[in-house]
Amino acid sequence: MDFRNHFPPVCIALGLEDVDALLNHARAEYDAGERFLEFRLDYLASPDRGLPAIRKFLSRHTDCMILATCRRRQNQGRFHGSVEEQVRILEGAREAGAKAVDVEIESAENCVERLPRFRAGGYLVVSYHNYGGTPPRLDTILRRMARIPADGYKLVTTARKPSDNHRVLSLASTNPKVPTILLAMGETGFPTRVLSTAFGGLYTYAAPNAGQATASGQVCAHQLRSLYRIGKFTRDARVYGVIADPVRHSISPAVHNRAFQARRTDAVYLPLLVTPGQLKDFMLFAGKMPLSGFSVTIPHKQKIIRYLDQVDPLARRIGAVNTVWKKAGKWRGTNTDAAGVTAPLERHVRIGKSSVLVAGNGGAARGAAFALADAGARLAITGRNLDRVRALAAACGAEPLTREQAEARMFDVLIHATPVGMAPRVHDSLFSGRIPGKLVFDMVYNPLETALLQRAKEQGATIIQGLEMFLEQAARQFEIWTGEHAPRSVMERAALEALNVRTAAGAR
């Protein structure tokens, strides 16, 4: 039997403490087009009150599937009753019209004789949750669950490192005859929420559009469908992403997924949280998924080099890589940040005839410094760590300056290549006094107009927003990965929309 015929691909998890609020959110999700809702009855002060709510909702929304859950406190739910009381409530939910029920394995093993009635005209999901991590023998856990006849086996862990994602998702392919719902909680586990159905999972869970998530890492269904295009890419889709820490703020998924959509490319691009010290584990994950390529940003641009098979000469000299792809079984790296700096600048000045101050000494600053040195600029470097400033200046033939020395001079171009002024600390600026540039280029793009750019404008300087660099480097990444021309106008609109959403969210 193909169980996928029975379950829609996205289930909206509704965990509300008030019946009226539960019904209001359910109606809102239905009006948004969702037809598969989980009613977390254990969230209600009295779970029994959820039963007439199910009946009332389904009387007007007959084409909607309700999954009833009443998870016990011992299994990280909120229900304080016994297994007997839990089963009674779930039986009441089925009688009220819920098409499916979720019973955690710990309860299911203690009421096996009562479970078959849930499958009479409906569906039973047996679930396992681990909030501490991802155990080493997931196949053993799945075998334990599969001893109980059910229509779906939901195995949910917590991802502590990138490779946990692959271990969870691979259960579907290694157990093709077992109908599974496979997810990893937490920000590190987010890829499973997007990829699980393509990898063979029955469905994934989403948060309500205007309510709280019931598990860490859930995003709303609108985001899953519109941004990550769940259901629109196949099991053979190329998977890309951005590795960073933090990564949640990145607009790269919005930009690249929209570009893939515009070019009708079977691909998806994900935010991939990789903390310092996890690069080796991430590369294990990347090889097994397999990833086709990824963007690299703070704090990994320099350390990623040791894990690559080939790095182009410019990126090697810069000592930083922001773009990785796999070709002929080898991981290759380059640096599109360099062109992201020079291309916007060339619209305003002749780089080889200009004096340029680069503020910063990290991966982005190194990319700018070497690209500008190659273009013949008279180059100076400044920053907060003078030892690193001197090292970068020596590497690219630039003049090292303290910030006080830099502020005492005036340059044709100032390039700011540090995170200072990035949201949420939007009022910060690396320079406390006069801005030492006639043209000021800030690599920070959130907010679009930083405090540095605002002060530069007040001084009469020409400004270049960081979004120009972001879009240039992203377009070149897209072209490396796909071999097609990047849809630049589409990518720009997607970036502006994503930044507007973040600005609006921050204002609330």
Quick one: pLDDT at residue 432? 87
Average pLDDT of span 267-287: 98
Average pLDDT of span 293-315: 96
Spatial distance between the Cα atoms of 412 and 354, rounded to a whole number of angstroms: 6
Question: Are 119 and 218 found together in one domain?
Answer: yes
Question: Are 42 and 189 found together in one domain?
Answer: yes
Average pLDDT of span 103-131: 97
Return the bridge partners of 91, or none.
none
Counting residues of the chain whose pLDDT is more than 70, the rounded percentage is 97
- Is the per-residue pLDDT at 506 higher than 60? no
Question: Are 173 and 157 found together in one domain?
Answer: yes
Counting residues of the chain whose pLDDT is more than 90, the rounded percentage is 93
Question: Are 328 and 357 found together in one domain?
Answer: no
Quick one: pLDDT at residue 5? 63
Whether 301 is in a domain gets the answer: yes
**133-189: per-residue pLDDT in tens?**
999 999 999 999 999 999 999 999 999 999 999 999 999 999 999 999 999 999 999
User: Pairing between strand 330-334 and 323-327?
Assistant: antiparallel
Spatial distance between the Cα atoms of 147 and 431, rounded to a whole number of angstroms: 65
Would you say the C-alpha torsion 402, 403, 405, 411 has a positive or negative sign?
Answer: positive
> Domain span at residue 382?
342-464
Average pLDDT of span 38-64: 97
Spatial distance between the Cα atoms of 305 and 283, rounded to a whole number of angstroms: 12
**201-235: per-residue pLDDT in tens?**
999 999 998 888 999 899 999 999 999 999 899 98
Whether 176 is in a domain gets the answer: yes
Quick one: pLDDT at residue 1? 39
C-alpha Rg value of the chain to the nearest Å:
26
- Is the per-residue pLDDT at 346 higher than 60? yes
**350-380: per-residue pLDDT in tens?**
999 999 999 999 888 999 999 999 999 999 9
- Is the per-residue pLDDT at 83 higher than 50? yes
CB 374 within 8 A of CB 351: no
Question: Are 141 and 8 found together in one domain?
Answer: yes
CATH number at residue 388: 3.40.50.720
User: Pairing between strand 238-244 and 267-273?
Assistant: parallel
Residues serving a catalytic function are 301
Residue of 46, 493, 417 whose CA lies nearest to 251:
493
What's the pLDDT band for 507 if we cut at 50, 70, 90? very low
Whether 473 is in a domain gets the answer: no
| pTM score of the predicted model | 0.93
Question: Are 431 and 500 found together in one domain?
Answer: no
Question: Are 323 and 402 found together in one domain?
Answer: no
Quick one: pLDDT at residue 449? 95
Average pLDDT of span 291-311: 96
Could you tell me how far CA 100 lies from the centroid of its own chain?
Answer: 30
**4-24: per-residue pLDDT in tens?**
568 999 999 999 999 999 999
Quick one: pLDDT at residue 503? 57
Whether 42 is in a domain gets the answer: yes
For helices 163-174 and 279-288, what crossing angle results, to 10°? 20
Count H helices and E strands in the chain, helices first: 18, 20
Q: Which amino acid does the sequence have at 199?
A: F
Alpha carbon distance, N-terminus to C-terminus of the chain: 48
Quick one: pLDDT at residue 508? 38
- CA angle, corner 179, sides to 147 and 202, nearest 5? 145
Question: Are 375 and 307 found together in one domain?
Answer: no
362 DSSP assignment: S
- Please say which residue of 212, 236, 260 terminates a domain: 236
Find all residues with CB under 8 Å of 192, minimum gap 6, and list them.
Answer: 159, 165, 168, 169, 182, 183, 184, 204
- CA angle, corner 465, sides to 461 and 470, nearest 5? 150
Quick one: pLDDT at residue 212? 87
- Is the per-residue pLDDT at 387 higher than 50? yes
| Average pLDDT of the chain, as a whole number | 95
- Is the per-residue pLDDT at 238 higher than 50? yes
Q: How would DSSP label each residue in 394-417?
A: HHHT-EE--HHHHHTS-EEEEEE-
- Please say which residue of 201, 218, 236 terminates a domain: 236
Overall number of domains in the chain? 3
